[in-house]
Amino acid sequence: MADMMQFDLVSPERRLASVEASAVQIPGADGDFTAMANHAPVIATLRPGIVTVQGANGEEKFVVTGGFAEISPEGTSVLAERAMPAGEMTQEVLDDFVTAAVAARDNATPEMHDQLAKQVGDIALVASELGLQAKV
């Protein structure tokens, strides 16, 4: 059996997961990566995407809009700006995510515009992965 590590996912609203996991796929701002037991210490910024957790009970997926991941040899913690189980994502919730991202982009300084435009695109990709339609 694969080595296991502690995985925790929290958002400002609630704790979404606290489980033993063999691997966690994370949507990093600089690219997706997988954290496993005994991983080198890393702190990474998240982009909007899907966190996939491989655990004893199978696979769980969570939608995140951003935040940070702290990986250590003992475990992984994700501190998300907003997060929810992928199964709870509805068109209405997605529309709220898109509206907030578009408003941030449209009100951004010129220096931040490209970064926030990418965030809107990332949310649209998440929608596509979940079979939803992002109205950008």
For 88-132, the pLDDT digits (tens) are: 999 999 999 899 999 999 998 888 888 888 898 999 999 999 999
Please, are residues 61 and 27 in contact by the beta-carbon 8 Å criterion? no
**Among residues of the chain, what percentage have pLDDT more than 90?**
79
Q: What residue ranges do the domains of the chain occupy?
A: 5-86, 89-129
The 10 Å CB-count burial string (b at 16+, else e) for 109-126 is: eeeeeeebbebbbbbbeb
Q: Is the pLDDT of residue 1 over 60?
A: no
Domain range 5-86, CATH class? mainly beta
pTM listed for this prediction: 0.90
